[in-house]
A and B are shown apart, each in its own frame.
Chain A
Amino acid sequence: MDLQELINSLSLEVKTPELNLHREVTGGYVSDLLSDVIGNAHKGTIWVTLQIHLNIVAVASLKELAGIILINNRSPDADTLKRANAENVPVMTSTLPAFELVGKLYALGLRCR
């Protein structure tokens, strides 16, 4: 599904509005362990995490993920957003905790790949 549509459906706040958000989301992955994401997340998936430091951008970029959703309204570091813009990685926040957010993503039809 389209990332912009997903953002609208889940009322996500976009932290990188400069980036083009019309991109294909092929699935989802939730993890707070960076090497787990590197090892197991598939290209094009949306990543749900509570981590907010700038190394998450490197991971999303390496794995060519569709974007990152931060849970519980966690605010990304300024450095994180700077790098996200530079590396073309959309970052969004949700007011929901991970469990509920992932439930909604699943209900929208997203799976782990």
Chain B
Amino acid sequence: MRSLLKYGKGVITVGHCEDGIFFLTGKDFTSAGAASSNLKAVLERIGISHDIIRRTAIAAFEAEMNVVIYAVAGMMKYRITDTEISVTVQDMGQGIPNIELAMTEGYSTAPDHIREMGFGSGMGLPNIRRNSDNLSVNSIVGEGTTLEFVIKIKE
């Protein structure tokens, strides 16, 4: 927990900021979902509203599953301020050659054994976009992908 000083209208108000990190392991379907579940618990402890928690948890789960499905390893970093929740998921993976195509509903490069588990329907990134207020994806083929989404906390 860190304190943030915010200046507005000549009055100094002290807000709060909390951040943290979870490590993700590729191909580990047993632990998959733990990071987003832990993030959800953090948001519940802070007392964030139900709808914001639900949207954050859904987007985080989809991003986490992408790392588990496609990458060797990765991490999920979060930062919660009085106004927004930002989550960055960075992986060491194969990268995405065409991000626009990857954002298209129904497009997937998942192998058959992943699809048999019900993943790889090509709706992961669209679901993240749908549940967040801002989404950015940066990727280098052969190195990895960094995805960041922001969810605004309404006053």
A51-88 vs B, CB cutoff 8 Å, 1 = contact: the mask equals 10111101100111000000000000001000000000
Contacts of A64 in B (CB 8 A): 54
Contacts of B37 in A (CB 8 A): 58
Q: Tell whether, in the assembled complex, residue B127 and residue A55 are in contact, meaning their CB atoms are under 8 Å apart.
A: no
Count of chain B residues with Cβ under 8 Å from any Cβ of A?
22
Which one of A36, A54, A56, A58 lies within 8 Å of B123 (CB-CB)?
A36
Count of chain A residues with Cβ under 8 Å from any Cβ of B?
19
Q: Tell whether, in the assembled complex, residue A35 and residue B130 are in contact, meaning their CB atoms are under 8 Å apart.
A: no
Write the residues of chain A forming the contact surface with B, with a CB cutoff of 8 angstroms.
Answer: 32-36, 38-39, 49, 51, 53-56, 58-59, 62-64, 79
- Describe B's contact surface by its main secondary structure: helix
Chain A to chain B: the 3 pairs with minimum beta-carbon distance, closest first: A35-B123, A33-B121, A58-B33
Write the residues of chain B forming the contact surface with A, with a CB cutoff of 8 angstroms.
Answer: 29-30, 32-33, 36-37, 54, 57-58, 61-62, 65, 117-119, 121-124, 126-127, 130
- Describe A's contact surface by its main secondary structure: helix
